[in-house]
Amino acid sequence: MLAKKNRYAIDIEDTELKSGQVKGESKVASISDPETFFLTALNAHKALEEFLGPRSDNQLKKNEMYRQIARDGFSTLENLTKDVTQSTTLNTMNTYLLASGIRSDLVVDSLKTAYTIDQIVKEK
């Protein structure tokens, strides 16, 4: 991994509107599939949680992380929200799978999207 990349971008502002994934100059902040497998094999779950959460496509976690850094000078993953429904990529993939008639438990174990479930709860 160090031979392939010598830095990770901290600027993750340039994102795809459709998927929420980083693009352009910010793409250096994302990690590739082999790097994900490598970190999984090393049991680097906290690194994966950061790379695939606030530094990837979870805007809520990203804003919380930046707020903690501005306030305290550092951020901890334990203090960030654990809400997986805020992940843009997971929600997009889950929607595509449900539209194809494939049941998925990426976000919720239901045949409804997280957005639909939230709307039902708000109506009650």
Asked if residue 117 and residue 102 are part of one domain, the reply reads: yes
As a whole number, mean pLDDT of residues 44-48 equals 83
- Residue 71: pLDDT band (50, 70, 90) is very high
- Answer whether residue 2 shows pLDDT above 50: no
Total count of residues recorded for the chain:
124
- Stretch 27-47: mean pLDDT, rounded? 77
Do 62 and 43 sit in the same domain of this protein?
yes
Q: Which pair of structure tokens corresponds to residue 96?
A: 């595509």
**Of the candidates 4, 9, 11, which has an alpha carbon nearest to the alpha carbon of residue 32?**
4
6 and 67 part of one domain: yes
pLDDT exceeds 60 at position 51: yes
User: Do the Cβ atoms of 98 and 111 come closer than 8 Å?
Assistant: yes
Q: Based on the domain organization, do 71 and 109 belong to the same domain? A: no
Q: Where does a domain end: 79, 94, 109? A: 79
Residue ranges making up the domain that contains 25: 1-79
Residues 2 and 29 grouped into a single domain: yes
**SS3 of 20, please?**
coil
Q: Do residue 40 and residue 91 come from a single domain?
A: no
Looking at residues 42-51, what average pLDDT do you find? 83
Please tell me the total count of domains within the chain. 2
Question: Are residues 75 and 87 located together in one domain of the fold?
Answer: no
pLDDT of residue 93: 82
